Amino acid sequence: MIKIKSCFELRVSLCDSCKYKQFKSVDDLLNMGYDEKAITPLPKYCVQGEWSYHLDTVATLAAEYKQQRGEKAKQVWWEEQERFWNDRMEHGLACRSARKLEHEKYEARRYEMLEKIREERVKRMNEKLTELGWEKEAERYLKTEPYKYVYKEKPLTDDEWAVIMPELTALMEIEREKLRKEEIGEHIKRRIDKWLKPAFTAFILSRPPNEINPNILEVALSDQWRTVLCTEPFSEDLTESSVQSAGSQIPEFAQSWRKDRIGQLLELVRKSKTYSGQEVTEDVLHLACTMFRCTNCKCGGPGEVNTYAHTLVHSCNFLWMYSPIVQVAPRDAKHLPPPELPDDGYSARKRPIIRLYREEERHILTTLEHVGIWVGLDPHIVFDDVAHEHMLSLLDTLGWSCDTTVAEMEERQPYVECFCECYHDPKKPLSRKIYRWKKAVSIII
């Protein structure tokens, strides 16, 4: 298709090939011997990045200009040409505006016509798929107006339907499976809201406020709850007995969970210089001089330290808002399939591998997607030997035992005044630096 460009001022229409031949720049025209007076009144057009003039029109005006005798006649002729071509340019501008308006009207009419055709095509496809038993699937799929089937410039005919029906039927099978999974997801979400959340809340409220416990996602993925949430018939509500049975297992699960997390912390203590080669028990974790540090985020400051309870709930121990690596296989599977690598490109951090026993359990992750998933303590959490020594020095200064616990320190809350040359500014009065005990240890590291 050849694109024609109209030059309304010149009363000509040219294709691109002719336009390049019939328009010349000022420099080219001057080199060809044409007088500038025969060029400047004419409208100019941008051709290949240069302002250019129509060669035939320039030749005509140049011939007329030569016929003028005397400077006065030439000046009168030039002024007449300037007025004439100014009027032509105004007319050309009006023509372009009119053509643009007409084109917009045409496009609006065409768009309206195509919209009606599309609506009719969607309606007919919906009716035909409903007759074949795909009512719900068709309604949902055709709402997206699939380009391949909807955006046509002619109504749907029986011949066309015979061609696209097998393709659409296969797509309806896929859509039905999606709907089935979504319905299961809704059932599982309702079960979590109705049964798991109240049971989990009741458990948390029954425990001491300073006790470390698993979050709701970890409880939902416990053997008891994932079985209740994902294997009971979705056509029926859960029974009180099954919920109570699963709920009664939460304390035991929490105890096992706590033991595992404490075991991981004790491993970090055993690897430290302070406790290397020594027997370490859980009692060590409760000591005020047992301090940990996150090398990943610095916990709010370069030397910020935490005691064991705060360390276990530190945000870097959890994966937030990103997909874990999922591995789905039955409980009794002898060989596990390779983990499904996430496709979001977030690979800078270690990702936890979550083992699911059935596909339905994915909906637990979706429902509780904003709950952090445990990734572990290693390698970002370390036992801080330097903070340990400073804390022992602080306890000695206070005249307290080196076996003082975190609970005792929190109860007494000693304030510590720090003196250091780096705090002193000769231009200012002597300042005092007073901190709570953990902050004081963090500041001097």
pLDDT confidence of residue 301: 52
Identify whether 294 is part of a domain. Answer: no
Residue that is last in its domain, among 78, 109, 140? 109
Identify whether 61 is part of a domain. Answer: yes
399 pLDDT more than 70: yes
The C-alpha angle with vertex 387 and arms to 384 and 393, in degrees rounded to 5, equals 145
Of residues 346 and 335, the one with the higher pLDDT is 335
The predicted-structure confidence for 130-153, as pLDDT tens digits, reads as follows: 999 999 999 999 988 788 899 899
Identify whether 99 is part of a domain. Answer: yes
The predicted-structure confidence for 173-211, as pLDDT tens digits, reads as follows: 999 999 999 999 999 999 999 999 999 999 999 999 888
Query: pLDDT exceeding 90 applies to what percent of the chain?
Result: 47
How would you class 238 by CB atoms within 10 Å of its CB: exposed for 0-12, middle for 13-18, buried for 19 or more?
A: middle
Query: pLDDT exceeding 70 applies to what percent of the chain?
Result: 90
Identify whether 370 is part of a domain. Answer: no
Identify whether 193 is part of a domain. Answer: no
DSSP sequence for 296-308: TTGGGSTT--B-H
Residue that is last in its domain, among 93, 109, 125? 109
142-177: b or e for each residue (b if 16 or more CB lie within 10 Å)? Answer: beeeeeebbeeeeebeeeeeeeeeeebeebbeebbe
Identify whether 42 is part of a domain. Answer: yes
339-367: b or e for each residue (b if 16 or more CB lie within 10 Å)? Answer: eeeeeeeeeeeebeebebbeebbbbbbeb
Residue that is last in its domain, among 109, 131, 153? 109
Residue type at position 406: V
The average pLDDT across 259-269 equals: 94
Q: Which domain holds residue 89?
A: 4-109
pLDDT confidence of residue 348: 42
The average pLDDT across 425-445 equals: 72
Domain count, the chain: 2
pLDDT tier, 43 (very low <50, low <70, confident <90, very high otherwise): confident
What is the spatial distance between Cα 358 and Cα 355, in angstroms, rounded to a whole number? 9
Tokens of 308: 């064991």
Identify whether 202 is part of a domain. Answer: no
Tokens of 89: 């340019």
User: Mean pLDDT of all residues in the chain?
Assistant: 87
pLDDT confidence of residue 432: 66
Residue type at position 404: T
pLDDT tier, 372 (very low <50, low <70, confident <90, very high otherwise): confident
424 pLDDT more than 70: no
